[in-house]
Structure 1
Amino acid sequence: MSASAPVVTGLGIAAPTGLGVEEHWQATLAGRPAIGQLTRFDASRYPSRLAGEVTGFDAEARIPSRLLPQTDRSTQFALVAAEEALGDAAVNPQELPEYGMGVITSASGGGVEFGQRELGLLWSKGKEYVSAYQSFAWFYAANTGQISIRHGLRGPSGVVVTDQAGGLDAIGHARRQIRKGTQLVVSGGVDGALCPWGWMGQLATGLLSRSDDPAQGFLPFSAAANGYVPGEGGAIIVLEDAEAARARGVERTYGRILGYAATFDPRPSSQDAENGPLDGGGGLLRAARQAITDAGLAPADIGVVFADAAGTPRLDRAEALAISALFGPNAVPVTAPKTMTGRLIGGGASLDVATALLSLRDRVIPPTVNVSEPAPGLPIDLVTEARETDARTALVLARGYSGFNAALVVGA
């Protein structure tokens, strides 16, 4: 296999902004936010009550009946997105070597909603009422396993658990397997934990927004930033060796995965000697710089940045200073379309990658909604309305709770 950048031949999306690539993309371009009051459970007694929910999803119409009782809602999203991505790539797995196709996805806690339901039955009724599928449906590798089984993808596979950074890390690992000789890897991430058990895990971070106003709940880089809003969903991509894709007759691709890097933040009390005081953004800066170098590019070659957009003043400032240190103040457009969906845990970064590829395809940068301008002291060119662009490369940034940083460079 060639050592050239692998190509993205298929996309599949299940997100609050839409089921399917074009539905999501049109909603994103129009700046239609999908954050609202949480309906998946009664959140009235919790301090945070906003979420980005996937609506209009009919599992019985989209998932084989035999899989319904053994899969969590997030796994059902992943199966639908994977099927869409493979169809979009015109891949018939039966026509390719089964050990030449792998699956690498990201996750946070696995099928949390499924697990809570079954543990509730254990506590309230007894072990006889717990589904045998609990043995694997809750597992963080369930999405990878179910996609692999359903489509006969028996090549190198795995799962990455690095919170919000996971979607980029999964794609980075997929690229590694393709460089080692695997022809095709299904990658990305779809996640969700909109149930009391999953909700408490996110509340424990202290980073959730306490606002009840959907238009004020998630305002990254704003002076009114007050935390983030969780969501569910994500994106699955089909990544292929460029020569192998050409050999099977692929004529249209979404773009290329040019560079990737990941770092881990030092202790909050330590100083970043290489980059100086960046309010904790030194690890993110290193990841971004290394990903651009890995792509064989310079910062000036990057046309747009899809930000991590944590939604808290300290983390937003750290990211803004890192971007400014790398590119210069206000030197590159920065956008955070996740303001329309919320932060999707293991699914958010891969959705940003899919959105970035669509942005390069159509030469338009989607907006950061509900934010009119960055807070004073944040030296970034924040895109708040859809903007035409001639960008041919995009840098996608992601950070996970407790210090994970990842950066991915995609090219048109």
Structure 2
Amino acid sequence: MTRLARPLLLAAALLAAGGFATWQGSRLDAAISGEDRRPPRPRKEASARTEVSVVTPAPSAITPVSTVYGQISAPNRVTLIPSASGRIVEVLDGLRDGARVTTGDLLLRLDDTEAALSLREAEAALASAETTRKERRRNITEAQETLALLGELLALKEAELDRTNALIEKGTYSPNLLETSRAALLAARQSVSQGEAALAASRDLARQAEIAVDQATLAVESAETTLADHALIAPISGIFSGERPIAGQHLSDSSIGTLVDMDSLEIRLDLTQAVLSRITGPEGGLLALPITATRPGSEVSAPGRLDRLTIADASDDSDQSIAIARLTSTRTAGLRPGDFVEVQITEPTLDDLLSVPASSVLPDDSVLAVTEGVLERLPALVLRRQGERVILATQALAGREILLLPGGELQAGMRVTTSPASPLALAESAE
């Protein structure tokens, strides 16, 4: 029984396995035949278009702005040094470090007692010299009048001698009268010579009196200068920098501080040759272009204008052109000498140029434009990169749809759909 059961069990197992395989095969055939009867699933279109944001530049007049840097300087700066020595007797009220003073303000006065006395003495000497000069001039007039009378007397004596000679020839007068007339003529001539000498002497004295007056006048002017030197007057308007002088303090030819004219500040601008070429005229002079100076990191700014060019020594022993800009308003600007500032130079307006976002221009100065829904790579003539914008001189790009963000997987030849760049997209592209 045991030997007979084993073959039977083996045969039953084989029949069961064959039946299961047949059943699985029938299911597979049914599944395959059923799938063939189902409709095909839709496939994604291989040529799906990518939506992109575009800008459409139009030709316009553009005013470029160059950004440069410089340092503020104060060309009108005066060191305050009294011209005399002495004790301070008067000080301007409010004179202290940082105080604003005006031209002509009396900053301080030194003790001028001796200087005032010297001036009065010089004025008295001048008055005396002028009196003497007046007297000498009067003496000249008197000498001239006397000489004129002596001249007339001489003429009379000469005429009398001629009449005497005529009468003696006729036998009317005695010869002794001739000697008398000759003696009188000789005396008249001697008087004229003495009058001429007196006039010359009066003129010499008058010239000496004139010299004395000139010397006395110089002495008065010198005394006035010495007296004025005891008063320190503000030569310009500006900000005082220094310690406040104290009444009773003794000063001697030393500086008490400086005055800086804050209304005539300048900026020394270090410029590249490219910028310099754009802001100079045909003759090489600096154009009077408007500027705005701003202290970096703050809202402190002031307007101004380019003023002139100067020459400075460069690090390589060559000459370097430095532009000087003059600020036109500083009272409320808060800018001070020594400040480093950012300067915006408004250049001359240029016509028929294009302006696009900086993100639209690729590193090789090209752009991606859309032509009938297909991206096309076009060259762009970059005239200036100005902050978040790029100025183009390529007229062929006028009116074309240009990608706002041409990077990433976008390439020439791709099919795209376009939409105008929104303000938010433009702002994000600038970041």
Give me the TM-score of the superposition, normalised by structure 2: 0.17
Structure with the larger strand share: 2
Give me the TM-score of the superposition, normalised by structure 1: 0.18
Larger Rg, first or second structure (1 or 2):
2
